[in-house]
Structure 1
């Protein structure tokens, strides 16, 4: 029997915490608009933090599927950007401590990894776990972003339920953590932000803002969001500029708005998952936005 505690190493100074929240997101699964990745990266960039535990990525990752970047200088190797899957101790704007776990999604040993997370949760006194990511939806960017909440107990969820019934989807390590730890009595919840499918491959800061607002509301943590909101406003302005300049895009967005409004009014019964819902000139819409975003990146580089 393998010992799950062998999968991680604690830092030298692990504090005694009182009822900390653990936020987590793993890179590698579906994350439309970079909602989860941008949200947690923003917190680490803006808030005081330090690493309190690291996982053994040599055991958990398949390097041949996600090769680390190495730097070659003239005639020798000088650096390897090794991946890190770590737990950080962070303090919010009010000084409240919480934990943040981020890094690449494990490729192997999911069950043992889940056991390891459970061990850490017990060791660090965590009672609430929260995860977030983005999912592509047939929804226009001109409407408020929806959020599908899920959790281990009905009491953890808001009154409104999401647009899905019983469905089967590819699994993720984040979802397995919620499932397994929930079965052991831990409170875990998540927020899937509905990102316009034509923006799913781009960085969409508005999705990260929506994710952090949902987390803040459910946990009481105070996050610095001004910079992220400014980035969201800039991205929205650039998208609108592209739409105004293209009659084809304008027509497609209006058609999508009509479809979305009909759904939210109850006139349509289909869900809004982008892969199932018919899109008005959807391929053209996504292709044009991809070209626009690529050109924007080239201008900024």
Structure 2
């Protein structure tokens, strides 16, 4: 069976609606997504218009169901629902009715290279000029300061200015980042926005982090993604963070320490001083990242 199936009606609708150098937004369900940034973006974008299916991937060829079991619902004496995994490319529209494509669904467990080659085929056939993604990573930053992010991509002139928080660091791979790496080797344009999520909030849903990501994606693509629609959710999340902080002196002390580190780094940048600290070292960040991944494997639902 083919790895992907084209929906002829969807392809025709895309061809009649799109222009040259279209945008493909990628957001895959995986365990590397601090603050649920990817999930929030997926839900937000899909809710902006009625998606039109263009490509469907055969998930049976890409998923390991026993390592990431989908959920089923049992009611009284029968099975009533199945959270069926999927992986697809849909045509969606932004707030100004501009069409673009969205690759979303479950991150493949296996056959990453075959999957990425298939996405390359789709990108070429559908006239995509830029592939862009966004996700959250746990970082030693406080929630009380403005959100920051690291933008990385296949060409330096594609990237918006963002603070450099890393030197060289080794982290576990993801299909989303491998796709960017392969696209660079194939001279295709791809960019990802990694939002810096306070590591003590990494497993919480953080709409303000998703808003930051949407703003960065708007700047990279020219799309209008209406991040203000998440204002209410962001306000609710912040109120809960404040409530929990008030109940824990330990967390208050942690946040105060991170604030001091953040301010020292910002002062050094303004003064043009190269500073190796006081932010966590690459080894410390790697250790936090590994702790986060281990916790996510234990706690997250299969398709979150």
Q: Normalising by structure 2, what TM-score?
A: 0.84
Match of 1:177 in 2: 179
Structure 1 segment 89-100 matched on structure 2, within 5 A: 89-100=91-102
Match of 2:5 in 1: 9
**Secondary structure at 2:2 match in 1:** helix
**Secondary structure at 1:133 match in 2:** strand
| Aligned-partner Cα distance in 1 for 2:266–2:225 | 30
Q: Deviations over 1:71-117 (max 9, x none)?
A: 33444434322111111101111111000111111000000001000
TM superposition shift of 1:161: 4.9
- The answer as to whether partners of 1:197 and 1:274 remain within 8 angstroms in 2 is no
**Runs of at least 5 residues in structure 2 that lack an aligned partner in the other structure:** 293-304
TM superposition shift of 1:185: 1.5
Structure 1 residues 249 and 72: CA distance shift in structure 2, 3 A: closer
Tell me which moved more, 265-274 or 21-30: 265-274
| Aligned-partner Cα distance in 2 for 1:145–1:129 | 23
Match of 1:107 in 2: 109
Structure 1 residues 164 and 63: CA distance shift in structure 2, 3 A: same
| Aligned-partner Cα distance in 1 for 2:205–2:39 | 9
Q: Normalising by structure 1, what TM-score?
A: 0.85
TM superposition shift of 1:230: 1.7
| Aligned-partner Cα distance in 2 for 1:219–1:52 | 21
**Secondary structure at 2:284 match in 1:** coil
Match of 2:296 in 1: none
**Secondary structure at 2:133 match in 1:** strand
Matched, 1:127 2:124: no
- The answer as to whether partners of 1:93 and 1:224 remain within 8 angstroms in 2 is yes
**Runs of at least 5 residues in structure 1 that lack an aligned partner in the other structure:** 287-301
Q: Deviations over 1:227-250 (max 9, x none)?
A: 312211221122123323444433
| Aligned-partner Cα distance in 2 for 1:56–1:244 | 48
Match of 1:145 in 2: 147
| Aligned-partner Cα distance in 1 for 2:65–2:3 | 17
| Aligned-partner Cα distance in 2 for 1:160–1:73 | 50
Match of 2:49 among 47, 50, 69: 47
TM superposition shift of 1:272: 4.0
- The answer as to whether partners of 1:145 and 1:193 remain within 8 angstroms in 2 is yes
TM superposition shift of 1:183: 1.4
